[in-house]
Amino acid sequence: MKQEEKKAFILLKSLIFHYHGLDEDEEKILNASADALDAHKELEWANAFIAEDFISAFERCRQYLKKEIGSLPKETKTKYLFEVWEDNQKKGYLTEMEANAMLNLAKDWDLHEELMTKVREE
């Protein structure tokens, strides 16, 4: 995974976990992802990007992700978004706000149907 793609993927995960306020379980999952991808600098950047203005964070991230992830193959985009969905399951719950945020991103990336198919298969 290239540096910019890694940065965008970590931003995606961080954005969803910050959606209702980052809790301890979510922070552990983000750190484990950063460990696996050797992406702690990217995680720091993503958290700072979100903290810059929490009110506008979703829209700013949405624009950034559309540019960085939107051009990737559909299978890759679906894989990334579904991994975030699965990470939310690891913490034991998925809030309606998180689900809606992921569904909105899926629509942005023209893969709403693909994400829903993977979720139903789970």
DSSP symbols for 24-85? HHHHHHHHHHHHHHT-HHHHHHHHHHHHHTTTTHHHHHHHHHHHHTTTS-HHHHHHHHHHHH
Domain that holds residue 30: 3-121
Domain count, the chain: 1
pLDDT in tens, the chain (122 residues): 888 999 999 999 999 998 878 889 999 999 999 999 999 999 999 999 999 998 899 999 999 999 888 889 999 999 999 999 999 888 888 888 899 999 999 999 999 999 999 989 87
